[in-house]
Amino acid sequence: MTDKSLVFLRRFGSTAVLWTLALWTIFSGYEPGFFVMLTTLGLVGLWEYYRMLDRKKLPNFKILGMICGAVMSAGSFYWARRGGPTQAQDFELATLMGCVLLVFARQMFQRTRDLSPLETMAFTVFGIFYVPWLFLFVTKIVYLLPRDAAGHVTGHYYVLFLLVVTKFSDMGAYLTGSVIGKHPLIPHISPKKTWEGFFGALAFSIGGACGLVWLLPEKLSFLQQGDAVILGLVLGFAAVVGDLAESIVKRSADAKDSGKFLPGIGGALDLIDSILFTAPLLFFYLRFVVGLS
């Protein structure tokens, strides 16, 4: 078996397992399942971020950062389930404030000068903002939508919408770029990405958004085809930016992949990098354009 075949089989196996778990969790509406899946991916992604810094010998307080990320993830889910997204956001802001306070307090015990204290605190706090805080918008989407008559959540179908549009963007960029890509998009960040792939990402994400709204009109009743076109365009663009944003982080740390959490794919951060940017945009669109609260 060739190396390419082995990589393909590993990637296919990881993708199949992930989509099976994700779709089962989404369609079952099993709330503890959301908590386990989202918390695991978020915290593993955060750990991978700190490990990349360690390999580059960039200073950080990773244990403190992981504790803050875990507290934020658990508390956000609890308050979103109990009081809705607004209370979850309040808890997250309180946690972020506490994290900044603790990071400064921790730095006081380090006898270092120059830029090292500032770098240590900045790298630590940025990780909390970049991974768990952005990823927790997925949780808030679940609880932004009203429950049905039986008390079951309905926001999980909008998480499905988020995943489909985001992954269609990734797929469109890869397929279009591979077939007809000739003009580099931002070669100093990601040499393989092209303008053709970028427009392919937008076309695929719009198609995925419109197709899902057409297939599940009752489950996605707050979205019309006009919303699907807008969200396909906006989320498709954000997915590309999210992928490039992680490329900046990895290049800064001289890392090819964020980790080895997923055979054939890379790390958890490689998996959720686009969602970190698309989830907040979908949440705010549902809240301020559609008018959900």
Element of type H or E holding 148: none
The string of DSSP letters for 14-79 reads: HHHHHHHHHHHHHHHT-HHHHHHHHHHHHHHHHHHHHHHHHHTT----HHHHHHHHHHHHHHHHHH
pLDDT at 249: 93
**Sign (positive or negative) of CA dihedral 30, 260, 235, 165:** negative
Sequence-distant (6+) residues with CB within 8 A of 25 are 33, 34, 37, 156
Least reliable range by pLDDT among 87-96, 113-122, 223-232: 113-122
pLDDT at 26: 76
pLDDT in tens, 44-83: 999 999 999 999 999 999 999 999 999 999 999 999 999 9
Confidence of residue 182 (pLDDT cuts 50, 70, 90): confident
The number of CA neighbours under 13 Å toward the Cβ of 55 is 17
Percent residues over pLDDT 70 in the chain? 91
CB 232 within 8 A of CB 208: yes
- Is residue 240 pLDDT above 60, yes or no? yes
Cα gap 67→99, rounded to integer Å: 9
Q: Tell me if residue 255 falls in helix, strand or coil.
A: coil
Residue 153: phi and psi, rounded to 5, are -70, 150
pLDDT at 8: 46
Q: Tell me if residue 150 falls in helix, strand or coil.
A: coil
The number of CA neighbours under 13 Å toward the Cβ of 143 is 21
Q: Tell me if residue 184 falls in helix, strand or coil.
A: strand
The number of CA neighbours under 13 Å toward the Cβ of 168 is 23
Domain segments of the chain: what residues? 3-289
DSSP state of 274: T
The string of DSSP letters for 180-239 reads: H--SEEETTTEEEEEHHHHHHHHHHHHHHHHHHHHH-TTTTTT--HHHHHHHHHHHHHHH
pLDDT at 6: 57
CB 231 within 8 A of CB 223: yes
**Sign (positive or negative) of CA dihedral 266, 271, 274, 277:** negative
Which pTM was predicted? Answer: 0.92
CB 21 within 8 A of CB 37: yes
pLDDT in tens, 110-133: 776 677 888 999 999 999 999 999
